[in-house]
Amino acid sequence: MPQPAIGAVRAELPGSIETMSGELNRLHGHLCGRDLLAAVLGQGGSLRGRIALVSSFGAESVVLLHMVASVDPDIPVIFLDTLAHFPATLAYRDQLVKLLGLRDVRSATPNLRMLGRIDPRADLHSRDPDVCCHFRKTEPLDEALSGFDAWITGRKRFQGGARQVLPLFEPERNSGRIKINPLAEWSAEDLEAYRASYDLPAHPLVAEGFRSIGCAPCTRPVAEGEDPRAGRWSGSSKSECGIHVSHGGGI
């Protein structure tokens, strides 16, 4: 029997984002990866235009982008263009958009007037990285996701921290949206096996020791045996850019 899509569950459980997320985990919790994406995107187009993928086009992004493109290449893909990315990331984004046939890639950029006021010397990342991430990532994402009921992330439990308890469907209490984490259960080995099996190009900085890739000023390569995310905001207690904290769930 076909299982209800997010829209159907929303209609049955209005105003209860926690209950709706729990029901989706009950219905689809046995799935992951492309199978989970097919379950929520392939329901007669009921979510078309109401769900987006947010991608950094970073070290592990190609796997999820390939899965989404194989299910629905028209899904909106939101790229947070912080204006501080490595040139290699921007080139990789353009390469993957063409290779995968993604038809609706949108750049979410910070407010230039506000950015000029609060970061005129482009050194806010070293003075207050949380505020920098707020203006370069969180606020642009809020605007870009306006009108969507759900969004897809590429987070995984093996990345550690609060992500170790990541559910497949996660309530976003502040916005009333649902976050979908189809790769939550995947390991680094699973990702690499998938990438190799489809001969997908790796981010060029991976070969230089970058295991997790964000903005250029706040990202360094990691040594052998280091946590993959140790190169993000190195030397500080910061471990998340903020979009997965401010957008509910505390993750």
> What is the C-alpha to C-alpha distance for residues 19 and 150, in angstroms, rounded to an integer?
15
Q: Is 241 a catalytic residue?
A: yes
> What is the C-alpha to C-alpha distance for residues 54 and 121, in angstroms, rounded to an integer?
28
Q: Which of 66, 56, 55 is nearest to 33 (CA)?
A: 66
Centre a 10 Å sphere on the Cβ of residue 91 and count the other Cβ atoms it contains.
Answer: 14
Asked if residue 80 lies in contact with residue 58, where contact means CB atoms within 8 angstroms, the answer is: no
What distances in angstroms separate CA 15 from CA 11, 21, 175, 214, 229, one per listed residue? 9, 12, 11, 35, 36
Asked if residue 182 lies in contact with residue 29, where contact means CB atoms within 8 angstroms, the answer is: no
Q: Which of 128, 108, 109, 104 is nearest to 118 (CA)?
A: 128
What distances in angstroms separate CA 34 from CA 74, 78, 83, 181, 186, one per listed residue? 16, 19, 31, 11, 12
Residue appearing with tokens 């947010």: 54
Please identify which of the residues 133, 215, 218, 241 carries the catalytic annotation: 241
Active site residues: 241
